[in-house]
Amino acid sequence: MAKKGSKAARAKRASEIVARLRTDYPQAGIVLDYGTDWELLVAVILSAQCTDKMVNLVTAKLFEKYRSIEDYASADPAEFETDIRPTGFFRNKTKHIIGAAQKVLADFGGEIPSSMAELLTLPGVARKTANIVLGNAHPQAYASDPDSGIAVDTHVNRLSRRLGLVSSENSDKIERELMEIVPREDWFQLTYLLIEHGRAVCDAKRPRCADCSLQDICPSAFRV
């Protein structure tokens, strides 16, 4: 689905989408369970290509077993792979989490960095993960960081194209296109609003357009 209308028209539609979805999903926000900023990073890394529900099932045990960032840094890779196996891609995720723990300890005094640039130096952390972690762990830094943006997961990718807001299928390009038409103060919440709507109504294979509050402003509504 290509973007529809001028930049001004898409910006106006985006504003209306945010307003309506805020009414539909007033509690929209992160659903991953975590207790510390480090556990947030672990959960977000594990969530790649995995449902939040499964991640929460895995981390319920993981966070009991590994209580400190030092525990992760010194974890046995083979054992850790077994611990997180249900989340998929467990070998890469193990390498990234252990590597991130070691780097956070070595370079950041054991504290999760509060800037996009520093977060992006951690193993396994690309822009989506960095935006989620920064926005939830350091909201004030996220709001002022010139490098922060919009976390684009599969729901955001799909819905932003269906709604005619962007034309690219590449997540980095989608992020840039959205940042051009969505006010900065809405960047953080936009991700969670689209995720909620994607789960509840705008399903990947069978979107329920008849039940959608965006039907009258969605260019895809009558062609799915």
Query: What are the catalytic residues?
Result: 128, 153
Q: What distance in Å separates the CA atoms of residue 117 and residue 189, rounded to the nearest whole number?
A: 21
From residue 35, how far is each of 86, 118, 175, 203 by CA, in Å?
21, 22, 28, 30
Residue 21, CB-side half-sphere exposure with 13 Å CA sphere: 28
Q: How far apart are CA 6 and CA 182, in angstroms?
A: 14
- Between the alpha carbon of residue 59 and those of residues 43, 154, 181, 200, the distances in Å are 7, 22, 36, 24
CA-based nearest residue to 72, from 93, 89, 57? 93
Amino acid found at 110: G
